[in-house]
Amino acid sequence: MATIDDLLRGIREAGEAPFRSAIAIPNRAYNSQDLFDLEAEHLFRRGWTMIARVEQAPTPNSYHSVDLLGELLVMTRDKEGVLHVFSRVCPHRGAELLQGSGKTRAVVCPYHAWTFDLAGQCRGAPLMDDLDGFDRQAHGLRPIRHEVWNGFVFVNLDGAAPPLTARLKPLDEALADCELSNLVVVKTLDWGEVPYDWKVIAENSMECYHHHGVHIRSIGKLFPANRSWTVDDTADYLLTYSEPDPDEFDRVDGVQTVVDAARIVTVFPYGHFTARPTGGTFLQVLPVAAGRSRVFSHMMLTKAAAQAPGLEELIASRLVRTRQILGEDWAICEKVQAGALTTQTHAGRLSSFEHPLWLFYRYYARALPTGAAPLALD
Ligand code: FES
Ligand SMILES: [Fe+2]
């Protein structure tokens, strides 16, 4: 049985291997709660996690709940339309205030009926007036540090990470034609809590090397690995270009269609989306425990397409594609997770088309306490 020290040693080796000698991390890394606890602390609480799109709280007085590593969060828009992220735990005695998404002018705690507006101010605290020094203004919802980048909402739970959006500036230029701020979520698929580690999903989503295997019946020939490449000038994110083979056609619909090149983006530790000038997919993966993740996929279209006639037909046809591709991905994630339950450990060699994984491991080995040497890039 691999100990946590064995795992950290294997992760360090993967993170320090030269590109032409790149190796995978140990398979037990996808099923170790000790390692997950380190990831929660060092990657997710100290880093920035992509939790939503701004349009999921679309109008004044709307809200959208997200659970992240046991934290109960809510994104709100106050009556002026300003976006906030709060803990949705009552500052009185800690009851969960609300769930899901919706619209309300006031959040009323189900326990003792303290009331809060969507800017987080405490507007009512019944029968507290006889106390010494009680000022309800001092008992608002607890704000969670957040930043918005091109419509994606990120949170930093420990409140101490370096600012994020400045570090994503190079992505703005690379994705300018995708107009990310102009996209809106038009359909969300809730895949529930899935029995795969967040890294199993993350690694699968990063590389195109699996296309000729996992996706051979869908997009494998249209988007082959050898027409993908990854930019490697940053330690903060991955940017992969995936171009269609011009001699292929859309095999899912069975008819020739013009298909744009895709940009596949991961902001470390794991905020992931794909984008094209016509829209994209935000794959929202919230780590729950070792080997367990909460997953949503959000279909995004341009605002113009979202308001054009025929929207429902467009969504329906894209859903066929999404369900097929993600269905193929989940099936292989299940098999990788099954391998992670065994004691077989070996450092598999990575192909050059798994370049994104090599870059991810360089980040991952340095975000965890593995003792990996700093990168010159840092
Ligand atoms: S716990 Fe919310 S009002 Fe008491
Ligand atoms: Fe895939």
CA distances from 319 to 126, 299, 322 (A): 48, 8, 5
- Kindly calculate the radius of gyration of the chain based on its CA atoms and give it in whole angstroms: 22
Ligand nearest to the CA of 203: 2
Ligand nearest to the CA of 204: 2
Neighbours of ion ligand 2 (CB under 5 A): 329
Q: Which atom of ligand 1 is nearest to the CA of 125?
A: 3
DSSP state, 271? E
Q: What is the pLDDT of residue 219?
A: 84
Half-sphere exposure of 324 (CA within 13 A, CB side): 15
| Through-space distance between the first and last CA atoms of the chain, rounded to whole angstroms | 34
Strand partners, 312: none
- Ligand 1 cavity residues, CB under 6 Å: 90, 92-93, 95, 109, 111-112, 114
CA of 238 to the centre of ligand 2 (A): 16
Q: Are 340 and 28 in contact (CB under 8 A)?
A: yes
CA of 329 to the centre of ligand 2 (A): 5
CA of 309 to the centre of ligand 1 (A): 46
Q: Whose CA is nearest to atom 4 of ligand 1?
A: 112
DSSP track, 34-102: HHHHHHIIIIIITS-EEEEEGGGS-STTEEEEEEETTEEEEEEE-TT--EEEEE-B-TTT--B---SEE
Reading the chain (378 residues) residue by residue, the pLDDT tens digits are 679 999 999 999 999 999 999 999 999 999 999 999 999 999 999 999 999 999 999 999 999 999 999 999 999 999 999 999 999 999 999 999 999 999 999 999 999 999 999 999 999 999 999 999 999 999 999 999 999 999 999 999 999 999 999 999 999 999 999 999 999 999 999 999 999 999 999 999 999 999 999 999 888 888 888 989 999 777 899 999 988 887 776 655 555 555 678 899 999 999 999 999 889 999 999 999 999 999 999 999 999 999 999 999 999 999 998 999 999 999 999 999 999 988 876 789 999 999 999 999 999 999 999 999 988 754
Q: What is the pLDDT of residue 378?
A: 47
Q: What is the pLDDT of residue 244?
A: 83
The residues, any chain, with a CB within 8 Å of residue 256's CB and separated by 6 or more, are: 249, 250
Handedness of CA 87, 165, 52, 37 (dihedral sign): negative
Ligand nearest to the CA of 200: 2
Residues 249 and 237: their CA atoms lie apart, in Å, by 31
Reported as a single tens digit per residue, the pLDDT across 114-150 is 999 999 999 999 999 999 999 999 999 999 999 999 9
What tokens appear for 298 in the block?
């959000």
DSSP track, 209-237: GGGGTTTTTTTTTTS-GGGEEEE-S-SSE
Residue recorded with tokens 């027409």: 227
Pocket test for ligand 1, best of 86, 87, 93, 141 (most atoms within 8 A of CB): 93
Strand partners, 300: 185, 280
Q: Whose CA is nearest to atom 3 of ligand 1?
A: 112
Residues 58 and 184: their CA atoms lie apart, in Å, by 10
Reported as a single tens digit per residue, the pLDDT across 204-229 is 999 999 999 999 988 888 888 898 99
Q: What is the pLDDT of residue 209?
A: 95
Residues 324 and 251: their CA atoms lie apart, in Å, by 12
The residues, any chain, with a CB within 8 Å of residue 372's CB and separated by 6 or more, are: 12, 15, 16, 365, 366
Long-range contacts of 87-96 (CB under 8 A, 24+ apart): 87/141, 87/142, 87/144, 88/141, 89/142, 90/114, 91/122, 91/139, 91/140, 91/141, 91/142, 92/125, 92/139, 96/72
